[in-house]
Structure 1
Amino acid sequence: MLPDLTDLNTFRSLLKQAPGPDRETLRNAADRNAQLTKPPGALGRLEDLAIWYAGWRGDARPSVTAPQVVVFAANHGVAAQGVSAFPAAVTGQMVANFRAGGAAINQLARACGARLDVLALDLDRPTADFTLAPAMSGDDCLAALRAGWGSVDPASDLLVVGEMGIGNTTSAAAICHALYGGEAADWTGRGTGIDDAGLRIKTGVVARGVARQAAGAADGLDLLARLGGREIAAMAGAIAAARVLRIPVVLDGFICCTAAACLHDVCARALDHAVAGHQSDESAHAALLERLGKAPLLSLGLRLGEGSGGALAVNIVKAAVACHSGMATFDEAGVTGG
């Protein structure tokens, strides 16, 4: 059972006090891996993935049977500055498409056997334009974190969080610029496919927003409120809830990893239960993954969001766990040389 989030400091404390993987299970899973009918290390990263998964689930011979994908949607006031190739109305239209089963994430969730939930967060109330004012108040940020926190099914055994929100790559770029420095252009990409003129506008918006909002921010959670969106905060809340519940997470692309980065800034161990599902085609995602110390499982040139890359990587995790738990040991198979 998850404790209630009464305020942002409670959220910080819960994140810092969250349990780690079961150490005895990690040892037992590693021992089992060493006895399987294969040369040592022959399955490469699949072996590490399976042991990692086992430790978080507390089962040295686990299975993945109940993955969950949650897509959060929200609107951004900064979208009015022309930072996207699509109008803000597309957010609500895509939510309807998700609920009708017509989006890419519907197909990918079905293909990996995942339950799909869609949560729209105050679509009629965009965040503030962060070049003019903080995107969210503390109460608004807490409400979005709580929406994500409560969205995770405790019975699930693998989580992917995705998003939909016109303008949210601008928020993500601003958060990363504020967290990691450099130039605004280092973190600002084409998002929905804007042209060169649009990219210049977007980069200027990111620079102005960070100049206005980043000074005096306490940590990544504070930056999340000042520069983020409700769907980004909800993703952070869901990832944190999974950490408390010891549910492994497969991270999606740039926006999802930005939500994760806000948690990582609060607590360096906050993402120990997460792997990077893929490296997206958004220009700054590779640099962000490097900052988080996450090597992607896939790199397919995706830049859709929605949780699509994370859902695609669920089958990689499932394959790793299936090999680990289903293969025979040398003794069981009567194979000499183990």
Structure 2
Amino acid sequence: MMTFQSLAEIAALADTLPAVDEGARAAALARQNSLTKPPGSLGRLEDLAIFMAGWRGTDRPRIAKAQAVIFAGNHGVCAQGVNPYPQDVTKQMVANFEAGGASINQLCRVNGAELSVVALDLDHPTADFTQGPAMTEAETLDAMNRGAAAVDPTADVLILGEMGIGNSTIAAALASALFGATPADWVGPGTGSDDAGIRRKVAAIEAGLRLHGGKDAMTTLASLGGREQAAICGAVLAARAARIPVILDGFICTAAAATLYAAEPRLLDHCLVGHASAEPGHRRLLAAIGKTAVVEFDMRLGEGSGAALALGILRAALECHNGMATFGEAGVSEA
């Protein structure tokens, strides 16, 4: 099992973790160009199949097991009035996930993913980042290691999501600290903040940046992030070690993983972004990390819902890639 001993070691992992298998990728591209269709006519479905081939190390990749994990955490910055809901809702939603009653349960069921939920010390929120660092290095590493431990090394693809009252503020704080622009450029309504709530979010992030701005990426994660953000980073890295492609969810999940991108861009090479969230900061963040979402459905629920929806598209891409006949097999003349 992959474990992390120091935040300072994270960026250097890009030199030792597996890279894309260029041979498998080239073979998948050659297959795509031999299938009974004009080359490129299936658009991004072709790109997704080739992406999967490169990371799974085979020209005919399949998804026998899709794993979905939701990480849940609570945040001390909620003391600043950044969310209209109490933090008890995080625990209540975890129970709803476990009972099968949430949107993510239905999307995982219909798209063939095995869902698990990892609750991260919900009775002990992180510290309020307007007053000091949200987490110590030890707390950050513990959450990262718990995230890594949640990854099934036999999975063919990993879907990541999150739950945590206040974590849209965390996402905006991380994005602003790591990629610039003002907090107001990143902040959105989250779970339904009104104008006054959005102003409180902006003020809290501005205070956090005054205390914690200018730090390296992983120290920024500890200073401004939460346990679920750190766990997502750990899971992303553990998946890379096992050559498992990752589908990230919306703004909050992407902002967590973008910490790794800020540390070393290659660390997200095996990641797709499932959807473009309606949260206003997400498209700005996708541009910053050079990713294009698989779908755009104006969703902003979180909890992995957009990533689970994208899994259906990914499965469709592989069905076409593996199931279509080549020109030679079908007896169809090539132009």
Report the number of matched residues: 335
1-structure distance, mates of 2:258, 2:128: 22
Q: Aligned partners of 2:291, 2:15: CA distance in 1, in Å? A: 20
Name 1:81's counterpart in structure 2: 80
The aligned runs of 1:23-62 (5 Å cut-off) are 23-62=22-61
Cα distance, 1:13 vs. partner?
3.1
- Does structure 2 retain, via aligned residues, the 8 Å contact 1:188–1:206? no
Distance 1:3 1:102 in 2: 32
Corresponding letter in the other structure for 2:238: A
Distance 2:209 2:92 in 1: 30
Partner-residue secondary structure (3-state), 2:49: helix
Structure 1 residue 211: Cα displacement: 1.2
Partner of 2:281: 284
Contact 2:275 2:306 in 1 (8 A): yes
Question: Secondary structure of the equivalent of 1:270?
Answer: helix
> Which of 256, 281, 292 in structure 2 is aligned with 1:259?
256
Do structure 1's residue 294 and structure 2's residue 291 form an aligned pair? yes
Question: Partner residue of 1:334?
Answer: 331
Indicate the SS of the match to 2:253: helix
Amino acid at match of 1:283: P
1:236 matches 2:229: no
- Normalised by the size of structure 2, how large is the TM-score? 0.98
Matches within 5 A, 1:208-227: 208-215=207-214, 217=215, 219-227=216-224
The Cα shift of 1:85 comes to 1.6
Alignment partner, residue 152 of structure 1: 151
CA distance in 1, matches of 2:100, 2:147: 21
CA displacement at 1:181 relative to structure 2: 1.5
d(CA) in 1 for partners of 2:213, 2:38: 51
**Cα pair 2:2 2:238 within 8 Å, conserved:** no
Instruction: Describe the SS at the equivalent of 2:299.
Output: coil
> After superposition, where does 1:1-338 map in structure 2 within 5 Å?
2-215=1-214, 217=215, 219-337=216-334
2:185 aligned counterpart, secondary structure: helix
Checking the alignment, whether the CA contact within 8 Å between 1:16 and 1:267 is kept in structure 2 is no
Q: Structure 1 residues 232 and 3 mapped into 2: Cα distance closer, same or farther (>3 Å)?
A: closer
Rounded to whole Å, the distance in 2 between the matches of 1:15 and 1:221 is 14
Provide the rounded CA distance (Å) in 1 between the counterparts of 2:103 and 2:323. Answer: 31
* Conserved 8 A contact 2:8-2:218: no
Between the aligned partners of 1:287 and 1:268, the Cα distance in structure 2 is 16
Partner-residue secondary structure (3-state), 1:300:
coil
Question: d(CA) in 2 for partners of 1:134 and 1:305?
Answer: 25
Q: Distance in 2 between matches of 1:182 and 1:202?
A: 15
Unaligned runs of at least 5 residues, structure 1? none
1:238–1:3 CA distance, 2 compared to 1 (3 A): closer
**What amino acid does structure 2 have at the position aligned with 1:178?**
A
Equivalent-residue separation in structure 1 for 2:10 and 2:150 (angstroms) = 15
Aligned to 2:161, the other structure's residue is in SS state strand
What is the alpha-carbon distance in structure 2 between the residues aligned to residue 246 and residue 57 of structure 1?
6
Residues 244, 270 of structure 2: 8 Å contact kept:
yes
1:12, CA displacement in angstroms? 3.6
Distance 1:284 1:182 in 2: 10
* In 1: Cα distance, 2:206 partner to 2:15 partner: 31
RMSD between superposed Cα atoms in Å: 1.1
Amino acid at match of 2:172: A
- CA deviation map 1:307-332 (0-9, x unaligned): 00000000111111110111110000
Deviations 1:12-66 (Å, cap 9, x if unpaired)? 4334421111111111111111100001111001111101101100110111121
Separation in structure 1 between the aligned mates of residue 298 and residue 313 of structure 2, nearest angstrom: 17
Q: Normalising by structure 1, report the TM-score.
A: 0.97
2:25–2:54 contact (8 Å) kept in structure 1: yes
